Structures are given as structure tokens and as C-alpha cells.
Amino acid sequence: MIVVLNNKSNLNQEQFLGYQKQLEDIISDHKLVLCPSNIYLADFYLENLSLGVQNVSPYEEGAYTGEIASSQLKSLGVSYAIVGHSERRLYFHENEMDLKKKIESLLKYEIIPILCIGEMEKQDGLRVVESQLEILKAIDKNEQVIIAYEPVWAIGTGQVPTIEEVEKVISFIKGKFPQNSVIYGGSVNEENIYNLKSSLLNGYLLGGLSLKPDRLRQFLNQLDR
Ligand code: 13P
């Protein structure tokens, strides 16, 4: 399984350094990926986790003020990148064209894209997911993209779909992209993981829980039960 930790826009530098120290002794058979704020990428030293980012520039290195290109991320040891998180689609108006460019740029530098998809409201799951998956069809080597199903209504709300609801969407995605890994995100924690396990899932994307190392440890223990 792959467990991706999305810190979002949290932690000042002192807090990040303390947090990273708390992650030092986490041992897991699962692939753990930490996606901190970009300003801490160069502070990352953990050997038990891989390094990821929460976003990437759609452009190559050059005159794009404020953006960080895939080649630059690669030089810092980044091996995963979240793309198209609902918060970026919503607040930063990322469109499908941007996402396609981002994914292509990441693949060029051998960084694994984690494409987030998911419906806003509690209905329409399949229709939204189907249209958000369209961009993958236009991308070479798209089987390397990890697809993260994150129903927007479940993010940070404490509300989670039933495992049957999750499986319905995951089966649909796997029907279209059988070779891709598919993970679930949205209010996952050390308690509800019991109800969110499925042989169809290849992992989880954690937001709030990623910031709580003790609870994260419990989550990883539960995942193995
Ligand atoms: P929460 O786990 O806080 O709901 O966030 C999920 C998420 O958006 C991860 O990318």
C-alpha cells in the first residue's frame, strides 16, 4: 500500500522540524510519502519516507515567477507529486489543460503524479470521476499515474462514504484504467480505517491525520490488522 501524507499549508519551520523528528522512527512495510510545504523540501532527511509535493508548475524551468518546475523538484529528491487536488481546482482555478501539462512534465522527470479526482456533492460520483479522468487518455505512459479518489464532501469534514460507495467508484476507475494504482482520501483516520479497507484499494491519502504522528502510527498499525 502507499500512504501519502498531505501536510497542506501547515506548520512553521520550527514545527516542521519537530514534526519530522517525530516521523524518524516510523517503521512500516507500506510506502510512505511525505508532501510538506515546498519551503521544507530541502530540510527533508528521512530515509523511511519518500518525498512528495502538493503541486508543480505546468511549465519547464524559466521565467515563471513563483512557480517550481519538475526539474527543480527532481534535483531535491522529490519522487511523487499531487496534481489537481480539489483545493487547487477550487481556489486556484486549475483547469484540465494545466493538469495535463503538469502530469506530462512530472512524467518527463520521472516523478510519479498523484491525480486527485472526486465529486463536490454527495451525488454524481461516477459522472464527475469519468469526466475528470478524461485527461489521462491524452497522456503517454498514463499507467504510471496514481489516481486518488477524494470525494470533496469528505475532505476535512469527518464524513466518509461507505466502503460499498468507495468500491463502486474504484471499480469504475479500475475498469477504465486497470493498470493504475488507485487510492482513497477524505477524512481517513485511525478509527474509520477499519471500515475503509478494500482489496481494490492501493492506498490512502491523508490530510489532517498526516499532522498527528501518534495517530498516524496507530493508523499504520490498524492498516496491518
Ligand atoms: P483530510 O484527511 O483532512 O480529510 O484531507 C484529505 C485530503 O485532502 C488529502 O489530500
Q: Is 32 a pocket residue for ligand 1 (Cβ < 6 Å)? A: no
Number of residues that make up the chain: 225
Q: How far apart are CA 17 and CA 20, in angstroms?
A: 5
How far does the centroid of ligand 1 lie from the alpha carbon of residue 36, in Å? 13
Catalytic annotation present for 94: no
How far does the centroid of ligand 1 lie from the alpha carbon of residue 109, in Å? 26
Q: Tell me: the pLDDT tens digits for 142-154?
A: 999 999 999 999 9
Q: How far apart are CA 73 and CA 18, in angstroms?
A: 23
* Positive or negative torsion for Cα 45, 111, 83, 161: negative
Going by pLDDT thresholds of 50, 70 and 90, the confidence category of residue 132 is: very high
pLDDT, residue 80, reads 98
pLDDT, residue 75, reads 98
Catalytic annotation present for 85: yes
Q: How far apart are CA 191 and CA 195, in angstroms?
A: 8
User: Which residue among the candidates 96, 150, 164, 190 is catalytic per the annotation?
Assistant: 150
Model-wide pTM > 0.75:
yes
- Counting from 1 in the atom list of ligand 1, the atom nearest the Cα of 188 is 2
pLDDT, residue 127, reads 93
pLDDT, residue 81, reads 98
Q: Tell me: the pLDDT tens digits for 97-114?
A: 999 999 999 999 999 999
Q: Is 208 a pocket residue for ligand 1 (Cβ < 6 Å)? A: yes
How far does the centroid of ligand 1 lie from the alpha carbon of residue 35, in Å? 12
Show the cell assigned to 191.
Answer: 478509527
